Each structure stands twice: as structure tokens, then as C-alpha cells.
């Protein structure tokens, strides 16, 4: 199941923020390594994540916690994404803040180990 989530994922849509925001600094993305750690960035929010893989409703699902920053402000949260081939849908939560659904597509290559 882990192989289904490993790689670089390009965030293509977010429920709460539009592309002008989520692609503001770099193309919005999530990268998952073989050890189920990784990182993400959308807009000015960036973080390191620690994930666990399981199956839910016949889908491979990565659930993760994260810590990082929104500009210089420390942030933490959690999230999940369900994988269907090279397409993913999920939700990211900022602790005591916003949350947003997102969609992502797998990019070529795996995330670095």
C-alpha cells in the first residue's frame, strides 16, 4: 500500500484557496518519501509531515500529522489523502484554524528518500 502514496504530488485545486494563493510562492505540492515522511507547501504554508497508510473503503489512504510555518508563524495540523492511481483527494487541517479539501496529481518520479 505504501508504494501507492510515495512520490511527488502536485496540488491542482483547493476548496478554500484559489490558485493565485496556493501557487503564490512555489507550485503547491506534497512529497511523500518511502519512510512515510515528507513535506508540503501551498501559499505561504509549509510543513513537514509524518504519515501512516491504511485502507479505507477500498482506497489507499495516507493520514498524517504536520508541523511547519505560515510565513514566520509556527503551525501544526493534520490531514489525509486518498489515492486512486495517479489522482489523490484529501483534506488538510490547520490546528485551531482553517481546513480545506484538495485534489492532487502524481508527478513523474518518486520523492527523495
Write the CA distances from 11 to 43, 45, 65, integer angstroms: 11, 13, 18
Q: Please state the domain extents for the chain.
A: 2-106
Residue located via cell numbers 515528507: 38
Three-state SS for the chain is CHHHHCEEEEEEEECCCCHHHHCCCCCCEEEECCCCEEEEEECCEEEEEEEEEEEECCEEEEEEEEEEEECCEEEEEEEEEEEECCEEEEEEEECCCCEEEEEEEECCCCCCC
pLDDT, position 28: 98
Q: Decide if domain 2-106 falls under CATH 3.30.110.
A: no
Residue 111 has a pLDDT of: 58
pLDDT tens by residue, the chain, 113 residues: 889 999 999 999 999 999 999 999 999 999 999 999 999 999 999 999 999 999 978 889 999 999 999 999 999 999 999 999 999 999 999 999 999 999 999 997 555 54
Q: Specify the pLDDT at position 108.
A: 76
Amino acid at each position: 500500500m505504501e508504494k501507492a502514496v510515495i512520490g511527488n504530488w502536485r496540488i491542482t485545486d483547493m476548496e478554500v484557496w484559489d490558485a493565485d494563493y496556493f501557487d503564490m510562492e512555489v507550485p503547491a505540492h506534497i512529497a511523500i518519501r518511502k519512510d512515510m515522511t515528507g513535506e508540503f507547501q501551498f501559499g505561504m504554508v509549509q510543513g513537514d509531515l509524518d504519515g501512516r497508510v491504511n485502507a479505507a473503503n477500498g482506497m489507499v489512504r495516507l493520514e498524517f500529522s504536520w508541523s511547519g510555518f505560515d510565513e514566520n508563524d509556527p503551525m501544526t495540523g493534520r490531514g489525509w489523502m486518498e489515492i486512486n492511481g495517479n489522482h489523490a483527494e484529501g483534506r488538510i487541517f490547520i490546528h485551531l484554524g482553517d481546513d480545506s479539501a484538495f485534489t492532487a496529481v502524481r508527478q513523474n518520479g518518486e520523492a527523495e528518500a
